[in-house]
Every structure is written in structure tokens, then in C-alpha cells.
Amino acid sequence: MHDGCSGSFENGKQVADKVRMMGFADQLMPMPMEIECVECGSTFEMAEFCCKCPTCNMVYAVTPCHAFDPKNIMAAGINY
């Protein structure tokens, strides 16, 4: 079910699943963000709503409604 922008998530896997289910995973974010990987410490540009760290393959996801604040980007797991 779609909760609009009011949906809340407990972890990154839930965010990744939601973004994939809604068909946004490979779409470009309105504003790419530089993020630091929680697994390996590498800094990289997150340009899609669901992407992987190029160094360790940690998957990150953010919903379109929350893609303007890097605090909303959540790690889902290695190769999730």
C-alpha cells in the first residue's frame, strides 16, 4: 500500500523494498547527494533512489518524498 509521504520505515531494507516496489529504484534523484558509506567509509555520489557503494556494495535507499535530506538515506545491507 502507498502511504504517500507519511510512511515511516524502521530500517534501510524497508526503504529499499518500498522504492523498488514503487518502481523508483533506478530513477534519478532530483538532487544527487554525496554520502559516506557506513560500512567502508568511502564517499560517493548517490544519484538514484536506490544505489550501491562502489567500494563495498552496501545498498542505500531513500524515498522520493524524503530525497532532499541526506538524513533520510538508509543503508539496507551489502548487495541487498
User: Does the pLDDT at position 6 exceed 80?
Assistant: no
pLDDT at 44: 97
Residue 56 phi/psi, 5-degree rounding, is -120, 0
Task: Decide: 49 and 7 in contact? Cβ < 8 Å.
Answer: no
- Could you give the CA distance from residue 5 to residue 66 in angstroms, rounded to a whole number? 8
Question: What is the distance between the alpha carbons of residues 4 and 42, in angstroms, rounded to a whole number?
Answer: 32
In a domain, 70, yes or no: yes
Q: Which residue has the cell 538532487?
A: 31
Q: pTM of this prediction?
A: 0.91
Question: Per residue in 7-55, pLDDT tens?
Answer: 788 999 999 999 999 999 999 999 999 999 999 999 999 999 999 999 9
The cell numbers describing 8, all together, are: 515511516
Which neighbouring-strand residues pair with 44?
A: 35
- Total structural domains in the chain? 1
Q: For residues 44 and 21, give the distance between their C-alpha atoms in angstroms, rounded to a whole number.
A: 25
Does a structural domain hold residue 2? no
Domain hosting 55: range is 8-78
The answer to whether residue 53 sits within a structural domain is yes
Residue 36, in any domain of the structure: yes
Q: Which three cell numbers stand for residue 67?
A: 530525497
